[in-house]
Structure 1
Amino acid sequence: MAAAIPPGGTLLDTFKKSFVDVPIDAEKDNAISTAEFLEAAESLTTMFDVLGSVAFSPVKSDMLGNVKKLRDRFLAAPLESETIQSLCLNELKTKKHTATEGLLWLTRGLEFTCLALSQNVSKPTEELSDSFRSAYGVTLKPHHGFLIKPVFSAAMSACPYRKDFYSKLGSDQEKVAAELRTYTAALDKIVAILKGFLERKEAKW
């Protein structure tokens, strides 16, 4: 479950790591630091606890399962896996792609969440279910089979009312909105880097 929010703070203050704090080495082809990235991805999944519906459990467990695939590879070959990109490229050299495929699905899940939250923050009158449904349509839905789509559709319909969700993120609504904007902007940048990386020939299996 999500941790208790400190007085005057927001839910983002309870995250072990924020995407804002994930090191990206611009001089090394935007290499993303593995340890911090995985912690930030894990922290993000507590957002689904705040969404409050068991319908979001599959979304959360799917993302955590993909984080685990990457972490298992990181722990198995730490020196070759200091950045997400090197982790995947070195794994592919072994003719395996468990972690790399995990990254592909994790990136899709992160893009879905990022798009839904950033759209919702930018449209103060839009309900969460509409933002999440619209984000799902352009991120995960095209890759999901007919068995998975109803599970995610149920989650979209089970979103809490906007006012109830934001009140759980913190008491100062202006601060909540400002921090969410900063957070989703940082996540959006990371998603764009990862999508570009996964499109490359050397990242295919």
Structure 2
Amino acid sequence: MAAAYPPGGTFFDTLKRSFSDVPVESGKIATSEFLEAAESLTTLFDVLGSAAFKPIKSDMVGNIKKIRERQLAAPIESENLQDLVRNELKTKKHTATEGLVWLNRALDFTAQALRQNLTNNNEEVSVSFRAAYGNTLSKHHSFLIKPVFSAAMSATPYRKDFYAKLGDDQARVEKELGTWLTGLEQIVKNLNDFLATKEAKW
């Protein structure tokens, strides 16, 4: 897989947009750039390589679609995510808002799993993903959904194989993963804070 990148290149070179490049003004997250970064993140599940990750990826893609449909329906009112939510809720609908809640949970799960794995350099990817699932998505999932995610956690590649798939130059892979994660974590925190407020509830 690493051979698909230019010499010395990494998975992060293939992303249309990184979360660290999503404009945030006065706490408001630009909608179009956020959706591009979220779509780029879903390709990471292809690198993880197992069919077990397909439900996770398709769930995220479905939620991105809900947000984008609202943005296309009311572009002026949806330039940033916070305004998109406020304006959608005024119409007594919450399809995109609910999509954003679930998408942010999945982003939080991914961020926590990869941060834990990057920090603990002897830990297998499956251990980090399982811990992150317990901290994030599992409390929102029914007993029917949990086994699907459990299967995905068990299907993660070995640590050395996963990082090799991200690029040949491991020092560069770890540096770029760290930068990308910091951008993702900041966006997730911003959204967690906003989605916990009364104005984001339906």
What TM-score does the superposition give when structure 1 sets the normalisation length?
Answer: 0.96
Distance in 1 (alpha carbons) for counterparts of 2:78 and 2:172 = 36
Q: Closer, same or farther in 2 for the Cα pair 1:23/1:3, shift >3 Å?
A: farther
Residue 10 of structure 1 corresponds to: 10
1:105-125: CA deviation from partner (whole Å, max 9, x where unpaired): 000000000000111011110
2:177 is aligned with 1:200: no
Distance in 2 (alpha carbons) for counterparts of 1:136 and 1:59 = 12
Matching residue's letter, 1:72: E
2:118 is aligned with 1:121: yes
Alignment of 1:45-194 (within 5 A): 45-194=42-191
Distance in 2 (alpha carbons) for counterparts of 1:4 and 1:142 = 38
Q: Closer, same or farther in 2 for the Cα pair 1:129/1:98, shift >3 Å?
A: same
Q: Closer, same or farther in 2 for the Cα pair 1:2/1:145, shift >3 Å?
A: farther
1:142-196: CA deviation from partner (whole Å, max 9, x where unpaired): 0000000000000000000000010010000000001111111110010000000
Shift of 1:8: 1.0
Asked if the contact 1:34–1:81 (Cα under 8 Å) also holds between the matched residues in 2, the reply is: yes
1:45-103: CA deviation from partner (whole Å, max 9, x where unpaired): 00000000000000000001000000000011000000011011100000000000000
Distance in 2 (alpha carbons) for counterparts of 1:193 and 1:7 = 36
Q: Greater RCO between the two (CA within 8 Å, min separation 6)?
A: 2
Matching residue's letter, 1:107: N
SS of the counterpart of 1:159?
Answer: coil
SS of the counterpart of 2:79?
Answer: coil
The 4+ residue runs of structure 1 with deviation greater than 4 A are none
Shift of 1:2: 10
Asked if the contact 1:2–1:50 (Cα under 8 Å) also holds between the matched residues in 2, the reply is: no
RMSD: 1.4
What TM-score does the superposition give when structure 2 sets the normalisation length?
Answer: 0.98
Q: Closer, same or farther in 2 for the Cα pair 1:175/1:63, shift >3 Å?
A: same
- Corresponding pairs, count: 202
Q: Closer, same or farther in 2 for the Cα pair 1:203/1:131, shift >3 Å?
A: same
Shift of 1:6: 2.2
- Structure 2 residues without counterparts, runs of 5 or longer: none
Asked if the contact 1:116–1:135 (Cα under 8 Å) also holds between the matched residues in 2, the reply is: yes
Residue 21 of structure 2 corresponds to: 21
Identity of aligned residues (%): 67
